[in-house]
Amino acid sequence: MRRRILPGFGLTLGFTLLYLGLIVLLPLSATVWKTSSLGLEGFWEVATTPRALASYRVTFGLSLLAALVNGVFGVIVAWMLVRYEFPGKKLVDAMVDLPFALPTAVAGIALATLYAPQGWLGRWFEEFGIKVAFTPAGIFVALTFIGLPFVVRTVQPVLEQAERELEEAAASLGATWWQTVRRIILPVLLPSILTGVAMAFARAIGEYGSVIFIAGNMPMISEITPLLIVIKLEQYDYAGATALAVVMLVASFCLLLVINTLQWWTARRSSGGVA
């Protein structure tokens, strides 16, 4: 009998299920159980109050907008890092990961300082009558900041593996720049772009620390759903807080399904369509 260095399948599977059960399933189940005390009618009443609906519009609307913007500029950043050599390239590449390493509260304070009416950037916007900090625009800036690395790091490896010979062949056959992008480059990058955008969107809807310092947190205007959950917890309305948390949980599961589907599609395309 062949001796295994690592533990067998049964032991590792048991440990995996126990660990995931304690860390993931138990807290989520407790959230749903606490919400069930409201009943279906009570849950619907809490989840659809005007203040809650306004927070959904701010959270999901600005998160989607920030993810789409990152989908465009993230591809440009990834293209620059892969296709060009320039002084300070490694520094720029490291800066892309800064939102991952930077504490969210620090990011929020820094952005609020920069975009405040008297800040380095905010004063220039103020001259044109544009207020960024303490408005929904500030939320958009924060969500764009924290979401950019997801698109760049998803597109970058795919772009590195892309065959440049196809682009050169298209150019030699007389294809225009737009034809090369539309028929050769974009079909290869599209699955990874969609995956990166979905991941940035999923990350943005749950963001809290970097948003509350720059949002202004005005009910019905610039109040995000995570903040509303915290407010209900501070008011000892645990059932109401978990009701909103369940709404976010369902949205997260849907996004997780989309991300996994896109990753499966990407793997299938990269393997030449072989399942």
Closest CA to 189 of 45, 82, 50: 82
Average pLDDT, the chain: 86
H/E stretch holding 145: helix 136-161
- Flag whether 17 is in a domain: no
Does some domain include residue 36?
Answer: no
Mean pLDDT over 208-214 rounds to 91
32 lies in a domain?
Answer: no
Nearest to 32 by CA among 266, 255, 188, 241: 241
Distance CA(62)–CA(68), nearest Å, equals 10
Q: What is the pLDDT of residues 60-116, one digit of tens each?
A: 999 999 999 999 999 999 999 998 888 989 999 999 999 988 888 898 999 999 998
Residue 21 lies in a domain: no
How many CA atoms does the CB half-sphere of 117 hold within 13 Å?
7
Mean pLDDT of 25-42: 84
Residue 246 in any domain: the answer is yes
For the domain that residue 149 is a member of, what is the CATH number? 1.10.3720.10
As a whole number, mean pLDDT of residues 191-211 equals: 89
Dihedral (CA of 106, 92, 73, 196) sign: negative
Q: What is the mean pLDDT of residues 242-268?
A: 82
> Which residue range(s) make up the domain with 62?
41-270
Asked if residue 236 is part of any domain, the answer here is yes
- Tokens at 23, concatenated: 């860390």
pTM of the model: 0.84
> What pLDDT is attached to residue 4?
62
135 backbone dihedrals φ, ψ, rounded to 5° = -140, 170
Q: How confident is the model over 116-149, as pLDDT tens digits?
A: 888 888 889 888 888 999 999 999 999 999 999 9
**Residue matched to tokens 């979905």:** 198
> Is 35 among the domain residues?
no
**Residue 51 banded pLDDT, cuts 50, 70, 90:** very high
What does the pLDDT read at residue 155?
Answer: 92
Determine, yes or no, domain membership for 114.
yes
Q: Give me the torsion for CA of 184, 188, 190, 192, rounded to 10°.
A: -160
The count of domains in the chain is 1
> Which of these ranges, 6-20, 33-47, 98-112, has the smallest mean pLDDT?
6-20
User: pLDDT class for 273, splitting at 50, 70, 90?
Assistant: very low
C-beta separation of 31 from 245 below 8 A: yes
Amino acid occupying residue 171? A
Residue 165 has pLDDT above 80, yes or no: no
